[in-house]
Copies of this chain bind each other. A is one copy, B any other.
Amino acid sequence: MKAYVYVSLKRSVLDPQGKTIQGALQKLGYHGLQDVRQGKFFELTLDGGLDKSQAESAVGRIAREVLTNPVIEEFRYSIEE
């Protein structure tokens, strides 16, 4: 089973890396971009021993407690069998 955790900066937090990419893309001639934000994701391969609800709670806990800084970041996750 695979779980994907997506961590991004909260909307209210400035994302200078995204702004830099947006500026670079504009200079390179790619127009039509209103905003760019960057985040990170984690692909977790889980042991087969967990059922889906166990996996959900384990992944939620890992995402909340370890992978995300709750002061400035938010996360979402999805699980694929």
Report A61 CB to chain B, min CB distance, Å.
Answer: 7
* B36→A43 contact, CB < 8 A: yes
A43 to B37, CA, bound (A): 5
With a cutoff of 8 Å between Cβ atoms, the chain B residues found around residue A25 in the complex are 62, 66
Q: Are A40 and B41 in contact (CB under 8 A)?
A: yes
Give chain B residues whose Cβ lies under 8 Å from the Cβ of A38. 40-43
Q: Is the CB of B40 within 8 A of A36?
A: no
- By beta carbon, the residue of chain B nearest A32 is B47
Please tell me if A46 contacts chain B, counting CB pairs below 8 Å.
Answer: yes
Residues of B within 8 A of A50 (CB): 32
Shortest Cβ gap from A23 to chain B (Å):
12
